[in-house]
Amino acid sequence: MFEKFGALLVRRKRTILALFIVAVIAAGGIGSLVIARLDSGGYSDPGSDSAKAGVYLKETFKVKDPAVIMVIDSSSAITDPTVAANAAALESSIAAQAGVGKTLSYWSAGGAPVLASKDGKAAYLFVYAQAADASKTKDLGQSLQEKYDGTYKNLTVHVGGIATFSYAVGAKISKDLALAETISIPLTFILLAFVFGGLIASAMPLVVGVSAIMGSLLILYLISLFTGVSIFALNLVTGMGLGLGIDYALLIVNRFREELHAGKSVEESVIKTVATAGRTVFFSGITVMITLASLMFFPEMFLKSFGYAGVTVVAMAILGALVPLPAILALLGTRIDKIVVRRSAITPKEDGRWAQTARFVMRRPVSVVVLSLVVLGILAAPIQNIVFSQVDSRVLPASNKVAIASQVMVDKFPGQEGNPIEIVIPGGANKVAEATTYAQQISLLPGIAHLGQKEVVGNDLRLTAVHTMGPRTPAAEKMINALRAIKAPSGTLIGGVAADYADSQAGIARTLPLALGWIAIGVLLLLFLFTGSIILPIKAVLLNVISLTATMGAITWIFVGGHLNFLVGKFTVTGSLDTSMVILVCVVTFGLSMDYEVFLLSRIKEEHEAGSTNIESVATGLQRSARIITAAALLLAIVFAAFVTSGVTSIKTLGFGVAFAILLDATLVRALLVPALMRLFGELNWWAPKALKRFTISH
């Protein structure tokens, strides 16, 4: 099939290339519209009890969360007539702003004590958006922050809240993404010229990378018309688009050169390249897609978005590597080696240091395995201190205005007035005694500052409880679980930000076994079809799990322990990791590791099927693929490591985690553990029941 496809590409190369250029321009033009539609939220489980409570509150009680929360601070008491007059003037000005539905403050609420700070010198001002559309509330947050954050007469104004946070995160990520690309792209191109050995060849990853990124933006735009897509997904699209462009172009170009230097014609070389390296790219990409598709199982839009983005960018990278790239190679022919930068990269040695490394490892396999596992164990050790939470304003730099506003709220106020626990008791008006007892028990819970308002609509009762801790923290989750353990009137629903967080964590925990099962079964089956072995797929999955554990240990030590600021930059140490980002790092790195596993096993199997012994197959396979894997890993690590420059801690975690994991995998795992274990298993590496052998793919 791949040979016929290669022959078609050779015959229609000019037409295919012209269509590709038109498609990329169209995809880029339409796909760029997605940026304005992206969301900075998406951490909620839409099927949870807290989500049901949110619907009940909105439809029955007409409750609306404030889009913007302001702290009005003064050097005088908030009861001072001058302070009150200035605050009233400020509130009146804000209420007149476009997009503002209503406002509520300490002063307009008649001096409500729950809206006052502990020292009596600051108070809340809540701003409710007119529209429910997320993009419009984000615009409102931006305009109010730009206009009012700072000083107003004799008052100091701090602007925070979900709308302002959404704007701040989106703006910061867009700015950081531009900076990361400014750093990574020039550096990547310099290294590409060195790795490919020539300037013309070094441009080939652009063919795959540009088609992957532009095609993904178009598909994400179409997806955003029907469901929410997280703004964080852009980082995955650019990172993986460029990274896979490098991976696949290296593999394709390297094989094309091999065939040319073996004396084949340009047309024969392209056909052979598509039939071998093209097949490897296809199955490698499918393996990565299966892995990333697991993110779509999770209920949170944030993780689903990365599933959409991941599957899309890999599919587009496969398309770019298998369609326009071979067509360009057919047109270039021997000119692929023009403008030489490093000649040894153009004609790699048949028996070089990678083959020598493999033979050295296979002479001492037990020692290599033991020492490698000890190193991985040391790296993994800090994972025992891992703590999970969810993104809040502390993900931004401490100097950011939204982060400052949030810290002021924590320091000056006794409770989370803007993020109370919302309790809905359907028919509660007819259960007065039961509801009263329930409310009393709630007030005694650790972490509850006080009970808030009580409201009855029809026969339904609404209660609020104000808590003292951050709503998206392990302490808040513990509090919500304790609250739900209290005997409540039948049909009671618990909502609010803290309950939303607890339900999100529970949703992830509930979905995780399904996602892991999907990955394990999908990868094991695909690797079996590709290798014809029972042992190799199991070994690959186990090694990836061990490598990932070491990576998570390193992430925990840095981002929970607060170490290596000089390397990753300053960030607010919260003592926890964002659960969704941890899952994302694990899934992405698992998929990329499998990418390299398929690259390596493809060449080893090709040599083994050609009649080489197990030892020689591993040595030659490593020699012909390890250079590609290591170079691809280094370049991909640079792309993701550039994200460490971001001021958003979640993006730092993603950048460091993926970069560290792929470098660890391409060196310690692929160069040492894989050949050592293949030596220990010997010919058993290729064993499978005869009845199953007929389902494998011939190389």
Tell me: do 674 and 624 sit in the same domain.
yes
The torsion angle over the Cα atoms of residues 535, 593, 286 and 529, rounded to 10 degrees, is -10
* 8 A C-beta contact, residue 103 and residue 148: no
CB-based burial label for 40 (10 Å; 0-12, 13-18, 19+): buried
Q: What is the mean pLDDT of the chain?
A: 89
Using the 3D structure, point to which of 449, 473, 503 is the last residue of a domain.
Answer: 503
Tell me: do 633 and 523 sit in the same domain.
yes
What is the CATH number for 74?
3.30.70.1320
* 8 A C-beta contact, residue 439 and residue 492: no
pLDDT at 347: 65
Beta-carbon count within 10 A of 146 CB = 13
Tell me: do 434 and 564 sit in the same domain.
no
Residue in this structure with the two tokens 């509520």, named with its chain if needed: 104
Three-state SS annotation for 658-692: HHHHHHHHHHHHHHHHHHHHHHHHHHHHHCCCHHH
Beta-carbon count within 10 A of 164 CB = 31
What is the CATH number for 186?
1.20.1640.10
Beta-carbon count within 10 A of 645 CB = 18
pLDDT at 698: 61
Q: Could you tell me the end-to-end alpha-carbon distance of the chain, in angstroms, rounded to an integer?
A: 12
Does 550 reside within a domain? yes
> How far apart are alpha carbons 547 and 196 in whole angstroms?
28
pTM of the model: 0.85
User: Which residues in the chain come in under a pLDDT of 50?
Assistant: none
Does 326 reside within a domain? yes
DSSP assignment letter at 340: B
Tell me: do 498 and 510 sit in the same domain.
no
Grouping H, G, I as helix, E, B as strand and the rest as coil, residue 154 is: coil
> How far apart are alpha carbons 389 and 333 in whole angstroms?
54
pLDDT at 616: 86
> How far apart are alpha carbons 259 and 333 in whole angstroms?
11
> How far apart are alpha carbons 505 and 472 in whole angstroms?
10
> How far apart are alpha carbons 253 and 430 in whole angstroms?
75
Tell me: do 467 and 494 sit in the same domain.
yes
Pick from 600, 589, 592: nearest CA to 671: 600
> Strand 421-425 vs strand 388-389: parallel, antiparallel, or unpaired?
unpaired
Tell me: do 324 and 452 sit in the same domain.
no
Tell me: do 303 and 429 sit in the same domain.
no
> How far apart are alpha carbons 317 and 320 in whole angstroms?
5
> Strand 577-578 vs strand 388-389: parallel, antiparallel, or unpaired?
parallel
- Strand positions, DSSP E, 165-310: none
pLDDT at 386: 92
| Helix spans in 532-665 (H) | 535-555, 565-568, 579-609, 614-641, 649-664
> How far apart are alpha carbons 585 and 655 in whole angstroms?
9
Using the 3D structure, point to which of 102, 128, 160 is the last residue of a domain.
Answer: 160
Does 50 reside within a domain? no
Grouping H, G, I as helix, E, B as strand and the rest as coil, residue 562 is: coil
Between 497-531 and 49-59, two packed helices, what is the crossing angle to 10 degrees? 130
Distances in Å between the alpha carbon of 286 and those of 154, 282, 358, 396, 654?
62, 6, 28, 35, 22
* 8 A C-beta contact, residue 472 and residue 501: yes
Q: What share of the chain is helix, strand, coil (3-state, %, to 5)?
A: 70, 10, 20
Does 59 reside within a domain? no
pLDDT at 233: 86
Grouping H, G, I as helix, E, B as strand and the rest as coil, residue 179 is: helix
pLDDT at 135: 66
Does 631 reside within a domain? yes
The residue type found at 631 is A
Does 51 reside within a domain? no
Q: Give the gyration radius of the chain's Cα atoms.
A: 29
Does 699 reside within a domain? no
Tell me: do 486 and 403 sit in the same domain.
yes
Does 60 reside within a domain? no
Tell me: do 356 and 491 sit in the same domain.
no
Q: Which domain holds residue 402?
A: 398-503
How many distinct structural domains can be found in the chain?
3
Q: Identify the bridge partners of residue 68 per DSSP, sorted by sequence position.
A: 127
* 8 A C-beta contact, residue 417 and residue 124: yes
What is the CATH number for 455?
3.30.70
pLDDT at 294: 95
Tell me: do 375 and 402 sit in the same domain.
no
Tell me: do 209 and 263 sit in the same domain.
yes
Residue in this structure with the two tokens 């990574």, named with its chain if needed: 184
* 8 A C-beta contact, residue 528 and residue 685: no
Tell me: do 380 and 231 sit in the same domain.
yes
Pick from 646, 657, 650, 660: nearest CA to 569: 646
Q: Identify the bridge partners of residue 511 per DSSP, sorted by sequence position.
A: none
Using the 3D structure, point to which of 135, 160, 185 is the last residue of a domain.
Answer: 160
